[in-house]
Amino acid sequence: MATARDVMTPGVECVPENNTLQEAARTMQRLDVGSLPICGEDGKLKGMLTDRDIVVKCLAEGGDPYTATAGSLGQGKPVTVDADFDVETVLETMKQHKVRRLPVIENHMLVGIISQADIAAFMPEAAVGELVTEISEPT
């Protein structure tokens, strides 16, 4: 059976937790992505940061993206999967936690990320439709 490692996008770039939101936004722009994993100085995953987080949790509330850090928006323990988890477990995790991007961990270190697009390229159309529907349903 296929594993998270088979589906993930490897070599994901982290934003350091002490980087400013402005620096994080520039990294998103350079990579043409809407989210980045937040990593600590130890290289371990601390959370996820989205472009929406920057707008809603900083700018809209009058925060300063030149001084606020990526780590300040990383809340709670991030939802992850192990690189060796089967794809069905990955799908269920995404559905249960209503996440569109799922960091992949191996030996406590970030090794990749699985997005809806990765699932769409790998899974049958019906499975993708079900995933999108369940993630998008209000809680």
Locate the domains of the chain by residue range: 4-136
Q: What confidence tens digit (pLDDT) does each residue in 25-73 have?
A: 999 999 999 999 999 988 889 999 999 999 999 999 999 999 999 999 8
Asked: is 4-136 a CATH 3.10.580.10 domain? The reply is yes
Q: Give the pLDDT band (50/70/90) at residue 138.
A: low
Q: Helix, strand, or coil here: 138?
A: coil
Please provide the average confidence, as pLDDT, over all residues in the chain. Answer: 90
Question: Residue 3 and residue 6: Cα distance in Å, rounded?
Answer: 5
User: What distances in angstroms separate CA 55 from CA 34, 62, 73, 97, 130, one per listed residue?
Assistant: 12, 10, 11, 22, 29
Burial group, residue 7, by CB count within 10 angstroms (0-12, 13-18, 19+): buried
**pTM metric for this prediction:** 0.83
